[in-house]
Amino acid sequence: MKIFTVVSPGSRIVCRRGGIYVIRQGDGEKVLVPPDVDCIVVASSRVGISSKAIRLAARRGIDVVFLDFNGMPIARLYPPYINRTVATRVSQYKLFQGDYGRRLAREIVYAKIVNQVELIRYFAKNYREPNLREIAYQIDSIATEIRVADHRALDREILMSFESRAAKIYWQTIASLLPDSLGFRGRDHSSKDPMNMALNYGYGILYGVCERALLFAGLDPYLGVLHTPRSGKPSLTLDFVEMFRAIAIDKPLVLNARKIRLEVSSDRLDYESRKTVASIVLENIRQRYLYTKTGKRIELSEAIKVDAWDLAHCIREEMEYRGAKLVL
């Protein structure tokens, strides 16, 4: 999936000579949005877009996503016609409240933990830290407990207890790899330290990518199996994101933590920090990883799209779904 990001305040997105252009404030430079782009991400509150540009984007199958200062998608414009929506959603509504939903929830948590293990093993090799392999083994043993457990005994609370045990070890390990100057002591979405804020912003971008994949696969992003359903809460998006967090967001931010500037202003990352995080995250989403379901190295964004289609297919056919696993 190709993503075009607009981050400069004061920019305008317009239609000129049959193409979509971004006109930057200040120098007035016009940048053409490639016609084969899949998504335009607007990551600033001071960007204008013309209705003509929106119409052309819709005709080309391009959706436009608006992010808030935390990186969370707050609005989305996408074409009104999506294939196989009815059949997929009827099956989704029928299956998610029963045994199928419990099995799916188990698979999502299992895949999330397996990908965390993969990342810790990658850091063990990258940083030449043999002790990280033992930590990876500890987390992997929790994933094994989930895999062998009877799904009928795994309600949401029990699954989340497994996830919490793995997360405690995982985030303690991540904290040990980061510079002390960032003040990161563990994952806390409400913390005001710059690394937690960078993670929040990165996850927000990932939510937008995953929600698009689910929508275009015909799924209802608001009915999930792991996160509790609530009006206005995209529970399935939040479920689906869990499997990709470690590789898509945690990996590039940890690797770049000593190289980049992260500054907090008025209890939020400042503009330049948000721009840097977005650049790092989107670059990583374009990187190729080994996607185990195909046995091929493909762009991470493509793996997310393919996995959403696989989930939708499994739901329509009432087939067993296997979570997304990536190899570094």
The first and second tokens of residue 5, run together, are 């990001």
Three-state DSSP state, 292: coil
Domain with 176 in it: what CATH number? 1.20.120.920
Write down the pTM of the prediction. 0.91
Phi, psi (degrees; rounded to nearest 5) at 145: -60, -40
Domain that holds residue 165: 85-327
Q: Which of 55, 77, 99 is the last residue of a domain?
A: 77
Do 89 and 73 belong together in one domain? no
Confidence of residue 230 (pLDDT cuts 50, 70, 90): confident
Please, which pLDDT band fits residue 122 given cuts at 50, 70 and 90? very high
Number of domains within the chain: 2
- Residues 287 and 296: their CA atoms lie apart, in Å, by 13
- Could you tell me if 245 and 186 lie in one domain? yes
Kindly provide the b/e burial profile for residues 103-137, where b requires at least 16 CB atoms within 10 angstroms of the residue's own CB: bbbbbbbbbbbbbbbbbbbbbbeeeeeeebeebbe
Judgement on whether residues 181 and 255 belong to the same structural domain of the protein: yes
Average of pLDDT values for 188-203? 95
Whether the predicted pLDDT of 229 surpasses 90: no
- Same-domain check for residues 55 and 108: no
User: Does residue 136 sit in the same domain as residue 281?
Assistant: yes
C-alpha radius of gyration, the chain, whole number: 20
Same domain, 62 and 121: no
Contact, 241 vs 206, CB < 8 A? yes
147 and 289 belong to one structural domain: yes
Higher pLDDT, 150 or 262: 262
